Amino acid sequence: MGFILVIHVIVCVLLVITILMQAGRGGGLTETFQSAESMFGTQTNAFMVRLTTILAVIFISTSLLFAFQSSKGAQSLMANKKLLTKVPPAKAKEAEPEVNIKVEAPKPMSNAATK
């Protein structure tokens, strides 16, 4: 799985670079430095679209592979009885005194208090 992780990270970096190099509505990263056509030739747009598609397919494939492996192999630590330690029984707490509170029904207000 370590080799696939390295491939996944490299593809992530290359995918970000290729997306930033594409000239879109805002001009892309290539407008800042120099035009991509002068760097790669006149067929730059088709090449960049193809490269982005290939890298995206590899990225999705490795992501799905990681998701499949994590769902298949991962188990809860609670399932392993060797890792569970015996918890000592809790000490009996001293009995707390009971508190009795009496609640009375509300009394109507007198006429003198309402004036």
pLDDT digits (tens, 9 = 90+) for 87-110: 556 666 666 777 788 888 888 877
The encoded tokens of residue 6 equal 């390295």
Domain ranges of the chain: 44-68
The encoded tokens of residue 81 equal 């009885």
Contact 60, 30 (CB under 8 A): no
5-30 confidence digits (pLDDT tens):
899 999 999 999 988 887 665 555 55
Helix (H, G, I), strand (E, B) or coil at 79: helix
Report phi then psi at 30, rounded to 5: -65, -25
- pLDDT band of residue 76 (cuts 50, 70, 90) is low
